[in-house]
């Protein structure tokens, strides 16, 4: 009996360590992510204490709500235009949502959640510092780093890098606001400024800019309500104007986007060079497919085939991804898929008010905003890093849900 208790405790400690380590590996290595996820599953199964774990999970709606989206997508594999096997392969892209309750069971202690947040923050610090080192040629590229001739990105491609660093800047700011010492506070504020400079001058990303803007507006409102929202809005306009004048990369990205938007024509196929024009083309054709199949969609995994059929003979570029999570869901499983995703995000937004600390509440709100806004420009939930970040941080933060009887006055 003592041996069994010892083994159970050992697997619990090991699983908690793996859950924390996952926060550090997320921005760095997909291979390590997968190893840690496998270890988490083993520790959950071997750790026992199923009654307390399942009771904890069952009482936390924010952890269970994403399973409704997985359930609808699973139903979508039973019909549609996807070839046999491809529908199940596409369903697997959402597998990270399944492990949210499992990961959360290892984050019930406040100390574990704090270490997890710091592990993720440390990984973003490493990412930003290595990015600057690559740009300044202080560090030469090695097989351990990503090879990218255009941008100084050490681990992830520029789009994912900008989203991670933008959200990292938000995390640094929240850690600074909650720091107890002036030294720690200004150290976190300094890292937030470094992350912002990295996005602006080194690795521009339009999705990252929009996400960061939404997070900045939220922070102003969370701290000072409408006065703070207005102040941050004015400050954001001034920062964007200054960056537009100072940063060649930022200037070029914004100017190119405006030019591409103004010159695109719906009746003319996009040439593949104009990112804005081709995305608008993806959106228009996806909406046309949704109009044809509004309730059930074309089935999970059927987007590529349905889109190819829609553009056949038109000269337009086929695609397997509309770069919009909402459109991707609606095409595959109908408008109900979009409504379920919005319902999940709304439930998590409301549940964030009952988390253990103001830091966790603000981070949970920021996570919902990042996904809600980012999914308008990319299918974030089927991308490994962004999807796993959502799953991992949802599990970590909502594991701290306070029961009504335990909430402070």
Nearest CA-CA partner of 70 in 332, 320, 347: 332
**What pLDDT is stored for residue 187 in this prediction?**
97
The pLDDT of residue 329 is above 50: yes
**What pLDDT is stored for residue 268 in this prediction?**
58
CA-to-CA distance for 207 and 160, rounded, in angstroms? 9
Q: Which residue has the higher pLDDT, 342 or 317?
A: 342
Nearest CA-CA partner of 327 in 271, 370, 368, 280: 280
Q: Which residue has the higher pLDDT, 195 or 249?
A: 195
The model's pTM: 0.91
Looking at mean pLDDT, say which of 144-148, 308-312, 328-332 comes out highest. 328-332
| Residue 15 banded pLDDT, cuts 50, 70, 90 | very high
Nearest CA-CA partner of 10 in 35, 38, 43: 43
CA-to-CA distance for 188 and 121, rounded, in angstroms? 10
Give 189: exposed, middle or buried? Use CB within 10 Å, 0-12, 13-18, 19+: middle
Q: Do residues 185 and 212 touch, judged by C-beta distance below 8 A?
A: no
**What pLDDT is stored for residue 409 in this prediction?**
39
The pLDDT of residue 377 is above 60: yes
**What pLDDT is stored for residue 257 in this prediction?**
63
The pLDDT of residue 261 is above 70: no
The pLDDT of residue 249 is above 70: no
**What pLDDT is stored for residue 175 in this prediction?**
97
Q: Tens of pLDDT along 160-172?
A: 999 999 999 999 9
The pLDDT of residue 271 is above 80: no
| Residue 408 banded pLDDT, cuts 50, 70, 90 | very low
Nearest CA-CA partner of 186 in 194, 95, 23: 194
The pLDDT of residue 335 is above 90: yes
Q: Which residue has the higher pLDDT, 6 or 277?
A: 277
Which percentage of the chain shows pLDDT scores above 90?
Answer: 63
The pLDDT of residue 363 is above 90: yes
**What pLDDT is stored for residue 4 in this prediction?**
67
* Residue 50 CB contacts under 8 Å (≥ 6 apart), including other chains: none
Give exposure, 207-226, as e/b (b: 16+ Cβ within 10 Å).
bbbbbbbbbbbbbbbbeeee
The range of the structural domain enclosing residue 23 comes to 2-406
Q: Do residues 152 and 135 touch, judged by C-beta distance below 8 A?
A: yes
The pLDDT of residue 406 is above 50: no
Name the least confident of 139-143, 261-265, 308-312: 261-265
Looking at mean pLDDT, say which of 11-25, 74-88, 199-213 comes out highest. 11-25
The DSSP H or E segment spanning 86 is: helix 86-92
CA-to-CA distance for 242 and 337, rounded, in angstroms? 40
Q: Do residues 211 and 166 touch, judged by C-beta distance below 8 A?
A: yes
CA-to-CA distance for 87 and 91, rounded, in angstroms? 6
Nearest CA-CA partner of 169 in 199, 133, 210, 143: 199
Q: Is 347 in a helix, a strand, or coil? A: helix
| Residue 86 banded pLDDT, cuts 50, 70, 90 | confident
The pLDDT of residue 358 is above 80: yes
Give exposure, 365-385, as e/b (b: 16+ Cβ within 10 Å).
bbbbbbbbbbbbbbbbbbbbb
Q: Do residues 174 and 223 touch, judged by C-beta distance below 8 A?
A: no
What's the mean per-residue pLDDT of the chain?
88
Q: Which residue has the higher pLDDT, 184 or 49?
A: 184
CA-to-CA distance for 208 and 124, rounded, in angstroms? 14
Looking at mean pLDDT, say which of 194-203, 251-260, 400-409 comes out highest. 194-203
* Residue 29 CB contacts under 8 Å (≥ 6 apart), including other chains: 155
The tally of domains found in the chain comes to 1
Residue matched to tokens 């089927």: 382
Name the least confident of 44-53, 98-107, 173-182: 44-53
Q: Do residues 334 and 295 touch, judged by C-beta distance below 8 A?
A: yes
Nearest CA-CA partner of 293 in 302, 4, 43, 187: 302
């Amino acid at each position: 009996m003592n041996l069994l208790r010892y083994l159970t405790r050992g697997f619990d400690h090991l699983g908690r360590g793996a859950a924390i380590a996952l926060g550090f590996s997320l921005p760095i290595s997909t291979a390590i992510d997968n190893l840690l996820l496998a270890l988490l599953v083993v520790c959950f199964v071997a750790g026992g204490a199923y009654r307390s774990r399942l009771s904890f999970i069952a009482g936390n709606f924010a952890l269970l709500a994403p399973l409704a989206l997985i359930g609808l997508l699973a139903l979508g594999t039973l019909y549609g235009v996807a070839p046999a096997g491809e529908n199940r392969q596409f369903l697997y892209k959402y597998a990270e949502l399944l492990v949210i309750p499992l990961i959360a069971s290892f984050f019930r202690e406040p100390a574990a959640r704090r270490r997890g947040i710091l592990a993720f923050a440390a990984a973003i610090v490493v990412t930003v510092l290595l990015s600057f080192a690559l740009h300044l040629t202080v560090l030469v590229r090695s097989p351990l780093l990503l090879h990218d001739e255009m941008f100084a990105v050490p681990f992830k491609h520029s789009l994912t890098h900008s989203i991670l660093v933008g959200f990292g800047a938000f995390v640094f700011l929240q850690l600074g606001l909650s720091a107890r010492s002036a030294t720690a506070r200004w150290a976190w504020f300094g890292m937030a400024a470094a992350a912002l400079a990295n996005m602006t001058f080194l690795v521009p990303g339009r999705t990252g800019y929009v996400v960061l803007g939404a997070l900045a507006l939220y922070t102003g409102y969370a701290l000072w309500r409408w006065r703070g929202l207005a102040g941050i809005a004015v400050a954001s306009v001034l920062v964007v104007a200054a960056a537009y004048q100072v940063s060649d990369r930022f200037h070029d990205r914004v100017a190119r986007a405006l030019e591409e938007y103004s010159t695109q024509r719906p009746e003319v196929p996009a040439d593949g060079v104009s990112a804005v024009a081709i995305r608008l083309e993806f959106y228009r054709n996806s909406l046309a497919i949704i109009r044809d199949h509004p309730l059930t969609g074309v089935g999970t995994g059927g987007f590529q085939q349905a889109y190819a059929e829609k553009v056949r003979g038109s000269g337009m570029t086929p695609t397997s991804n509309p770069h919009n999570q909402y459109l991707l869901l609606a095409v595959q499983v109908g408008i109900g898929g979009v409504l379920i995703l919005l319902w999940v995000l709304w439930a998590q937004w409301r549940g964030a008010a009952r988390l253990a600390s103001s830091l966790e509440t603000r981070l949970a709100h920021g996570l919902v905003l990042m996904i809600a806004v980012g999914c308008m420009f990319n299918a974030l939930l089927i991308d490994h890093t962004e999807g796993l970040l959502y799953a991992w941080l949802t599990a970590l933060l909502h594991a701290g849900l306070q029961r009504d009887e335990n909430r402070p006055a």
